[in-house]
Structure 1
């Protein structure tokens, strides 16, 4: 019967880097069920940041990035001997469980995440995360745009008015109505990142009778990420 497991032997190439991208399944409906605050629910983002920390501690990625209901993990130490089926299923289920644990409360329907694997070359890491950060900015503009229009029109009218508008058009519409997106919190525009940082630990060496300085790494949640560039990634990866 083992022969029926036709995809279980698919593996990531050895000595490669991958990105695992997770997306919430039907999270628009979940947001309505949970009565999330529009256009951004601060508690939801705190939960997503906690989920990212759990993923960081469990799977030791080099970098984790999230916006909206999307999470990307950069892995250079590939778990599960590179087995694609195992990586996707375990990381997706772990993410959903972490989300439920941190969010608490009652769900009308169990939340779920899908998972995909993206092989990535060193030279493309920055390109990938710049691409996702650009999507975060577009998502910020669209979220504020539809929220503003729904405050003025019915849902159907608001959807009709925003349909086909470019991000620049929505940005200008908001600005003309006193909403400057440059003033919103950074995480809403650029997302949230988790990566390793080191902190100084000052102890005392009894044997040598003197202070001793060491450094310990920890998972740092960055709510104020810059626009991604080469220098940023050179310093953290």
Structure 2
């Protein structure tokens, strides 16, 4: 940038540098996706094609940003965990959130046109995403964060599945369905689905109930050797030996401690 007498305006710029050696999670959320889903007539309660568009968008972001070690998403949101020693953009918050939001928006539009070509995008209602960066000081906080998101996925999906079956198959108005579900527990919703519509919630696709997980996994990581000597020094040594990684997709329970204990490198 050339020097000039107008350059003083740069002194107004401010950067927020995220704390070093802390875990960074960046959550991407769809902007106005209730209206977006209505505009493009998403299938209720879950639109498989739209979810696949989200998943492919997240996977592509992982391919282009190697610092992403894990991603979890459902509905219109995705959370990305960066390596603890990540120095992407020197950990500048604004750079991170604008890159993630703009890249995810671009990916989503690309994969929408590829996977959902029967519903071409309209300039009046384009999909866009915003993002926020959260810093967590320790491993437990990160684990609890992703557990929270998966529990939220289950609660929302069970409610939406029951709600939309009452509306679509039970011929209720949205207000009537809403009133029927006020104060109900998970067991009550499961009973409504089974008794009134013959639906066993446990038989529904795992992607709907548990969301989607992408992991950058060490494909030859000797977990048995690490469990014999579970120290940071041993973990670092084994990571150096296990150089090959692969992005893998799961629809599984990450609330169980075994999910994390079997992959100690996620938080290293």
Q: TM-score, normalised by structure 1?
A: 0.85
2:246 to 194, 214, 218: 218
Query: 2:235: which partner in 1?
Result: none
Change (3 A) 1:163 1:93: farther
* CA contact 1:126–1:229 (8 Å) conserved in 2: no
1:39 aligns with 2:54: no
1:140 aligns with 2:157: yes
1:157 aligns with 2:165: no
Change (3 A) 1:10 1:197: closer
Query: 2:230: which partner in 1?
Result: none
1:71 to 67, 70, 78: 78
Q: Which secondary structure does the structure 1 equivalent of 2:101 belong to? A: helix
Query: 1:93: which partner in 2?
Result: 102
Change (3 A) 1:233 1:227: closer
1:112 aligns with 2:128: yes
Root-mean-square deviation (CA, aligned residues, Å) is 2.0
The 1-side partners of 2:33 and 2:209 are apart by: 19
Change (3 A) 1:32 1:54: same
Greater fraction strand: 1
The 2-side partners of 1:122 and 1:130 are apart by: 12
Change (3 A) 1:114 1:166: farther
The 2-side partners of 1:39 and 1:170 are apart by: 14
1:80 to 71, 86, 89: 89
> What 5-or-longer segments of structure 2 have no aligned partner?
1-8, 114-119, 221-241
Deviations 1:184-221 (A, max 9, x none): 01111111011123558xxxxxxxxxxxxx97422112
Change (3 A) 1:166 1:4: farther
Query: 1:192: which partner in 2?
Result: 212
- Give the CA deviation at 1:52: 1.2
- Give the CA deviation at 1:39: 1.1
Change (3 A) 1:123 1:215: closer
Deviations 1:103-147 (A, max 9, x none): 012134121112111112212222111111100101110110111
Change (3 A) 1:50 1:133: same
Query: 2:201: which partner in 1?
Result: 181
The 2-side partners of 1:142 and 1:15 are apart by: 39
